[in-house]
């Protein structure tokens, strides 16, 4: 069956007239706005709903209703992406039937994948993308504000970092809620600069400043690496220009101010520790390598997550009956097997694959499409790098939702460019 989004020839193009997409909020966007605003409730155990021992995100209970009311199609991805996603989820879920709680991991990963699928259908205009992004940004700002409120006056606990999700998640989880908001803030900052909207530029610069403060106070080095990836994508997005120098310079200045005034001691402490050598860094490397080796030894269904933890503890000779792999690659490969790992990689790589049917042109439609494609590819790079440091990324609502949002934004500009090409072919004939 031919995928309606991925056209392969001019003949198909002439037969496919996509609807005109106006710059106003669509009904699907309202669903995206509501869900993204509900992400804030996921940052506190007080708002999570206990179902069979699992603390369920409130938005997961609202999302099915919105899918029905707002007519949201949760299969708005390419056939190949959908196929790899289903295969990955099926094999990983079956593998984890070996766990003591056989359905827990399947439920959490399934929730993350459904969240991604939900957001792949919510963007039908530039305004849709902007307004939905505000929910992600507000959640990140809330995390930063909570971090500031918990900061100690000094001492060991401050140097170790402040955890805004204490009792619910670690500092790795905290940066997972922050980085999507930072990424979207910088995207909207660039858009506002191009539109010469000085007020919005000032607002988004302030937001970036607040989010950077929250990140450095968390003392989470992988979160800092993620922020660097975000800034690198922004530089690639802007290209070599005066704009790059201006915005890049301003971002460097506010980053410097955030560090010097709020967390100079934390950054110095972490840099010294990194230079001297962290025992945890060596252990993390061993966890990844050993988990991948176990995936090769059990290629079909792995050991299940519980079995992987126990085998890691045995092979690495650690105290205690089990140890977590602390990265998604090891968890998927060792817990689900090599085959599951391959489907996992193919799924996310396919999301960044350029759709076929686009003709290169110096037009505004092609320019916007290329920028939107870069943003989803940059988001996937951020995902792959951040996944080296935590397995929770696969069911973090902000990260998975952000990937879906960026994909939907790319598809919106893909359709717009297809319309532009169709109009050009009609004029030529």
Question: How far is it, in rounded angstroms, from Cα 391 to Cα 320?
Answer: 20
Q: What is the pLDDT of residue 205?
A: 94
Residues with Cβ within 8 Å of 304's Cβ and at least 6 positions away in sequence, in order, are 95, 96, 97, 98, 99, 335
Average pLDDT of the chain, as a whole number:
85
In angstroms, the CA 315 to CA 125 distance is 52
Asked if residue 198 belongs to a domain, the reply is: no
| pLDDT of 15 | 38
Angle at 163 between CA 161 and CA 165, to 5 degrees: 170
Determine the pLDDT at residue 365: 84
Nearest to 251 by CA among 208, 195, 203: 208
What Rg do the C-alpha atoms of the chain give, in angstroms? 22
How far apart, in whole angstroms, are the C-alpha atoms of residue 345 and residue 348? 6
pLDDT score of 161 more than 80: no
DSSP symbols for 48-94: SEEETTEEE-HHHHHHHHHHHHTT--TT-S-HHHHHHHHHHHHHHHH
Whole-number Å distance between alpha carbons of 276 and 133: 40
Specify if 191 maps to a domain.
no
What is the model's pLDDT at position 425? 65
Residue 419 lies in a domain: yes
User: Is the pLDDT score of 123 beyond 60?
Assistant: yes
Give residue 427's pLDDT: 62
Q: How many CB atoms lie within 10 A of CB 216?
A: 23
User: Residue 346: what pLDDT?
Assistant: 98
Whether the CB-CB separation of 143 and 133 falls below 8 Å is answered with no
- For residue 131, the tally of other CB atoms under 10 A from its CB is 18
- pLDDT in the model for residue 152: 56
Distance of alpha carbon 139 from alpha carbon 160, whole angstroms = 23
User: Looking at 19-33, 188-202, 375-389, which range is the least confident one?
Assistant: 19-33
Q: Is residue 93 part of a domain?
A: yes
Apex CA 231: angle with CA 226 and CA 233, to 5°? 95
- Name the band, by pLDDT with cuts 50, 70 and 90, for residue 388: very high
pLDDT at 8 over 50: no
- Looking up tokens 């955030």 gives 258
Q: Which is more confidently placed, 172 or 217?
A: 217
Asked if residue 221 belongs to a domain, the reply is: no
Return d(Cα 49, Cα 396) in angstroms, integer: 16
State what percent of residues in the chain have pLDDT above 70.
87
Within-domain flag for 389: yes
Residues 313-332: tens digit of each pLDDT: 989 887 778 899 989 999 99
**Number of domains forming the structure of the chain:** 1
Six-digit token pair at 23? 């710059």
Residue 279, pLDDT > 90, answer no
Question: What gap in Å lies between CA 417 and CA 210, rounded to an integer?
Answer: 36
Q: Are 147 and 174 in contact (CB under 8 A)?
A: yes
298 Cβ contact partners less than 8 Å away, ≥ 6 residues apart? 334, 337
Most confident option among 19-28, 135-144, 351-360, 418-427: 135-144
Taking a C-beta distance cutoff of 8 angstroms, is the pair 427, 379 a contact?
Answer: no
* Domain of residue 54, residue span: 10-162+284-428
pLDDT at 122: 93
Tell whether the model's pLDDT for residue 338 goes beyond 80.
yes
The span from the CA of 9 to the CA of 82, in Å, is: 22
| Greater model confidence, 102 or 186 | 186
Q: What's the pLDDT score for residue 9?
A: 37
Burial group, residue 21, by CB count within 10 angstroms (0-12, 13-18, 19+): middle
Does residue 182 belong to any structural domain of this protein? no
Mean pLDDT of 290-303: 95
pLDDT recorded at residue 73:
67
Eight-class DSSP state of 388? T
Supply the pLDDT for residue 132: 97
* Weakest-pLDDT range from 20-24, 106-110, 234-238, 343-347: 20-24
pLDDT given at position 70:
67
Model pLDDT, residue 7: 39
Residue 335 above 90 pLDDT?
yes
pLDDT of residue 44 exceeding 80: yes
Q: How many angstroms separate the CA atoms of 115 and 59, rounded?
A: 9
Beta strands in 311-380 (DSSP E): none
Determine, yes or no, domain membership for 261: no
Look at residue 116 in the predicted model and tell me its pLDDT. 96
- Closest by CA to 328, choosing from 279, 291, 382, is 291
Q: CB–CB of 127/192 below 8 Å?
A: no
Give the rounded percent of residues in the chain with a pLDDT score beyond 90: 53
Question: Which is more confidently placed, 356 or 329?
Answer: 329
Q: Which residue has the higher pLDDT, 277 or 336?
A: 336
Looking at residue 96, what is its pLDDT?
Answer: 95
Q: What are the C-alpha distances in Å from 340 to residues 86, 101, 290, 317, 337?
A: 11, 20, 17, 27, 5
First to last CA, the chain: 30
pLDDT at 16 over 50: no
């Amino acid at each position: 069956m031919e995928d309606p989004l991925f056209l392969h020839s001019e003949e198909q193009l002439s037969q496919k007239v996509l609807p005109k997409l106006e710059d106003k909020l669509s009904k699907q966007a309202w669903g995206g706005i509501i869900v993204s605003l509900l992400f804030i409730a996921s940052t506190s155990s007080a708002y999570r709903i206990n179902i069979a021992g699992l603390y369920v995100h409130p938005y997961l209970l609202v999302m099915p209703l919105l899918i029905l009311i707002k007519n949201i199609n949760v299969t708005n991805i390419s056939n190949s992406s959908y196929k790899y996603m289903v295969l990955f989820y099926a094999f990983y879920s079956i593998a984890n039937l070996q766990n003591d709680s056989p359905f827990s991991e399947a439920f959490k990963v399934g929730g993350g994948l459904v969240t991604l699928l939900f957001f792949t259908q919510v963007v039908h205009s530039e305004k849709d993308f902007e307004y939905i992004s505000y929910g992600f940004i507000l959640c990140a700002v809330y995390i930063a504000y909570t971090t500031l409120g918990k900061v100690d006056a000094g001492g060991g606990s401050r140097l170790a970092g402040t955890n805004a999700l204490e009792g619910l998640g670690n500092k790795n989880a905290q940066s997972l809620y922050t980085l999507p908001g930072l990424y979207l803030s910088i995207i909207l900052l660039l858009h506002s600069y191009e539109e010469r909207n000085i007020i919005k530029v000032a607002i988004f610069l302030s937001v970036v400043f607040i989010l950077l403060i929250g990140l450095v106070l968390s003392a989470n080095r992988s979160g800092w690496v993620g922020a660097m990836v975000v800034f690198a994508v922004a530089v690639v997005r802007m290209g070599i220009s005066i704009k790059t120098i201006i915005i890049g310079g301003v971002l460097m200045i506010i980053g410097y101010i955030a560090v010097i005034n709020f967390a100079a001691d934390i950054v110095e402490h972490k840099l010294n520790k990194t230079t001297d050598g962290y025992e945890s860094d060596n252990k993390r490397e061993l966890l990844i390598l050993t988990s991948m080796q176990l995936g090769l030894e059990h290629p079909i269904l792995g050991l299940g997550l519980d079995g992987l933890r126990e085998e890691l503890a045995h092979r690495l000779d650690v105290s205690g009956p089990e140890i977590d792999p602390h990265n998604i690659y090891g968890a998927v490969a060792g817990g689900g097997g090599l085959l599951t790992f391959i489907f996992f990689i193919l799924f996310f790589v396919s999301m960044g694959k350029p759709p076929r049917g686009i003709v290169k042109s110096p037009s505004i439609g092609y320019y916007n499409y290329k920028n939107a494609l870069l943003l989803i590819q940059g988001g996937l790079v951020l995902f792959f790098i951040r996944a080296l440091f935590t397995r929770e990324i696969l069911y973090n609502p902000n990260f998975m939702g952000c990937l879906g949002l960026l994909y939907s934004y790319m598809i919106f500009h893909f359709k717009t460019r297809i319309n532009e090409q169709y109009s050009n072919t009609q004029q030529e004939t």
